[in-house]
């Protein structure tokens, strides 16, 4: 069984929106002394209600971030995955049900303004596009995302349920921040 220590000093965390990627990244960063990089923060302008940066600007920020020697990075952004995996030493994939992801999205958007991974400025509102992404797009493309993860030729860990994620936190002595 692959352990966290087997993933090396540059870890990518993948999974559906609101599956717990940012929280896990923070826990791993704290435990292993890794810089935590939330791709949502690079992809969106701070102090906005999730306004996206231009694609080229985001790509430049992403490429600069992956040059570091020790990091844990959460987020998908599939067009940049090949670049990220060239530098990564390990990967984790989280799974969560559509219902769980939707509930977490509404909870974090409506009530948790200081949540892990939020943008500076903490502006947030429920967006139909995000609800559609979680409820329609992600389930439709889940098999493709899992297939992409399975094809990664690095040490990796797949956590297929909330129960497995909880066991992982305990087994690796990680603390939710």
- How many C-beta atoms surround the C-beta of residue 149 within 10 A? 18
Residues 6+ apart with CB under 8 A from 106: 126
pTM (2 d.p.): 0.95
- How many C-beta atoms surround the C-beta of residue 50 within 10 A? 17
Which residue from 112, 172, 146, 147 is spatially nearest to 16, judged by alpha carbons? 146
Which residue ranges form the domains of the chain, and what is each CATH number?
Answer: 9-171 (3.40.50.300)
pLDDT, tens digit (0-9, with 9 covering 90-100), for 120-168:
887 888 999 999 999 999 999 999 999 999 999 999 999 999 999 999 9
Residues 6+ apart with CB under 8 A from 19: 94, 95, 96, 100, 101, 104
pLDDT at 21: 97
CB 108 within 8 A of CB 115: yes
pLDDT, tens digit (0-9, with 9 covering 90-100), for 5-58:
999 999 999 999 999 999 999 999 999 999 999 999 999 999 999 999 999 999
pLDDT at 122: 75
């Amino acid at each position: 069984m692959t352990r966290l220590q087997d993933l090396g000093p540059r870890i990518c965390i993948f999974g559906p929106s609101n599956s717990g990627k940012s929280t896990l990244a923070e826990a791993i960063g704290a435990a292993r002394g890794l810089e935590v990089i939330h791709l949502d923060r690079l992809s969106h302008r701070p102090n906005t209600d999730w306004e996206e940066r231009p694609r080229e600007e985001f790509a430049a920020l992403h490429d600069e971030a992956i040059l570091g020697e020790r990091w844990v990075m959460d987020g998908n952004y599939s067009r940049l995955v090949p670049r990220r995996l060239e530098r990564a030493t390990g990967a984790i994939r989280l799974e969560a049900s559509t219902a769980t992801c939707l509930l977490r999205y509404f909870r974090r958007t409506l009530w948790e303004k200081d949540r892990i991974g939020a943008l500076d400025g903490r502006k947030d509102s429920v967006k139909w596009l995000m609800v559609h992404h979680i409820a329609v797009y992600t389930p439709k493309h889940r098999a493709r995302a899992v297939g992409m993860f399975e094809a990664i030729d690095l040490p990796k860990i797949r956590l297929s349920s909330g129960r497995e994620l909880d066991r992982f936190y305990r087994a690796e002595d990680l603390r939710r921040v």
